[in-house]
Structure 1
């Protein structure tokens, strides 16, 4: 089984990191590689569980959607299904001429095994969005087995046979077309019925091929008016879910004009010609079937030979005539079935959900973008809709006072044209996404406590150790000691690593320490997280500190590397300065700023001694931390740094 690159929103990306190795046993949704582009860093999850058989990419490779990343020996699979999968490969080349494939299934019927293939879905090819069954499942005729998606439609493909799934020949993310074998079903029926079931999919494309043939004839007719009819949807009838045009609109050929939807499929019907919409013969919610006229288009520059139109399409003419009369009484029904506005329906169309879920959302009046998805790959399920509606019905009424908490924002800038004008410099992406987070600091009553620590002895010890560390390729900085000391202190002073509750009545004390370390990069400041520093040695902290800093500068930090911190340290290092007031990073309540250490004269009672003094700046949320507590915290920290041996007591 091969795991391929999913749609990551860009043409290609670079393999930044390979997170597994050959022989590893991995589970579904476990991250396998980290891909990076100039737009995003994405951890690609495995779509199946099993043992890694081979890794087909290297770090630094550029990959596109569909590229094979790893080969997996799936759990519970034998070698037989793996051999059968390539046999399905010639099927895609058959395209519309897939009829010869059906007789191949007839000999298989003798062993009671039936191939279930991709039906005509109205497009040349589509992507497998979801596999709804597994090997060993018992399925029924017309039960949905896979979801395929294209730019025009999302279709749930039904099974053409009942029995037990023997093998699955496709994977999520594969591109498939009509005639491709999806899976093999071991049927419990006799050989004769099995052969009949196998022949049915082959017979289905025949009338479908006639329907597209009729459409070009209608489009090619040199008449002024062209009727666009409902194509073959694979079901008896479907409902008009959305009308994308209005009378008088100018449309292009193949532009989507109407969305029709059944329990199995959502299909955007394209225009058969370019021109102006002359009439719309259906209304929202109306049930339509194949051949019913949807709209009439006045084709561009084709008004002269209008007479031949009825002769060329004698069947379409009677269907088009009564349609305008039926449109008026249908309209009220549509409003009762669809409780969403046109804008809300347009928003729903952008959410990943199946046809049945979309239909239910319209009936319930739910905007899908507001519902949290629980299905695979963030797919909305019916259960999600029911949970959302239940929550809305039982939720307390909103408190009007909450509106007062909304930020007022700053006024617009004045014009500087009279003062020499301006030159615009675009902020980096990192700076832009940081603005909302930094703005939250406006709501925190922040105070900064200043102190300084004598690190003369600590620096001498560090200089003695750094030579040995350097031989091991480890950079030992004073930050490793500071992190260890702060982590030790946070175990005693837990409020400094806590969070103010939403109701403002309690402090949430965290059970673990995860420390954010601010790192300056060419694109701006980023804050990777060092996990459980209180449980690690100075050497372990130094190693991880170097790795996180390098990943930040190389833009290889994953989302996990930036989450979960409950205290932050920001150091100016060798940049300069004597002190600063770092901003508390909500939802944290404290942050420690470190300025460059400097030699200073310190009074010892009889004279002045030269001491290396480290400036400390502790900013804190005054709603949670009192000034006296902050002063005690920095005082304890100075004593720990003055004699690091006290960590062992």
Structure 2
């Protein structure tokens, strides 16, 4: 079934190509032509059974319309002629989607001057003669019909009609691609591969391509001015588009892999000669430093990250911790605020499982983890490392303190094994006594959350009757917004604050 205006066939001459639309709405009964056939005006194309109010449907024979040929031949003496929209199958108010020439341009007979597009098809209008464009009467977006003025063309005088010089036309066919593109390389040099030569080094001023090729180029996002044409008279054909895309893919694959400190496709920061400003030395980054830089760039580019800031009142926790300090030292346990933080985060993850997931690469699924392993960011002599404390939700604060101390010591002594840094569900990055009131930690993929901890400080807090000094701990929660939303983060932070503010809740 076809509707009036649907494209039936596409015809192409050496000069231009055009879609032939259906003149009727109905059902195709028989097709009289095939790809590769040569047709002329009046040739049978197909038979359509049209719908009508009569008891018996009528059959209509569709014939090839008059080709979109140029207007009558130009006089040999030359002069300025008006170029108008030719027969476009009776369509009215057709939109101009491209104007390929401007005043002062020289065109040859058959060069595309404008491209028209209806809801069903698009077609090029070729220059009827060779000459110089004096003025252009339409612009992109205008609506035109048959007979509307396109441009004024100063025809080249004294040129013989093309039909009387077939040999000259053949010569032009061979010479045009080379003349309108880049000069060929010397035969002494190795010729580029077919795929490399599919891309022009500089955009071509004039592009000759049929509607089907232009539509495919728009779908692929290809700039036709960079595609090397191999069709008749320098026209771009579909095979040229395929070669261009293949060359682009090969170039992308063979391009040097981005360095650790850059992202794929991003420009690098150019090196400078710093020695002219003073004494310098070039120091090679350690493997850990290079991997950290690479991971940080990847995580920063891939993760749509949000950071939420809050402060936890740890006054009672600090009083409790300091009260146990002497007893814990006798047992060989160094009880810092970190074990309490790890225990609190582990419980918060159990209560808020949306933070205990990893997204799959397919973008449609995620892994829900039923274990809680917490990573601890350590500033080691070799660089930033993240040892992982396993099953933190099932261990007491004292157990966590012992294991965390052992992991940190191994990190500082460069004795961590790969297994010690794998399997984390969430990371804690604590600046502790180093200082600062807050920062934005980068999510450590494939985890979806990280907690940044800054230096605690004494601040005045209103208790309902008066201000009193309280120990406040700045917390910075960064999360992957693809897996965690603001509501999840708010509940996580509220629950975490409640545990840190009342140390008794850690035993529940």
Q: Using structure 1 for the length normalisation, give the TM-score.
A: 0.37
Structure index of larger Rg: 2
Normalization by structure 2: what TM-score? 0.47
Higher relative contact order (CA 8 A, sep 6+): 2
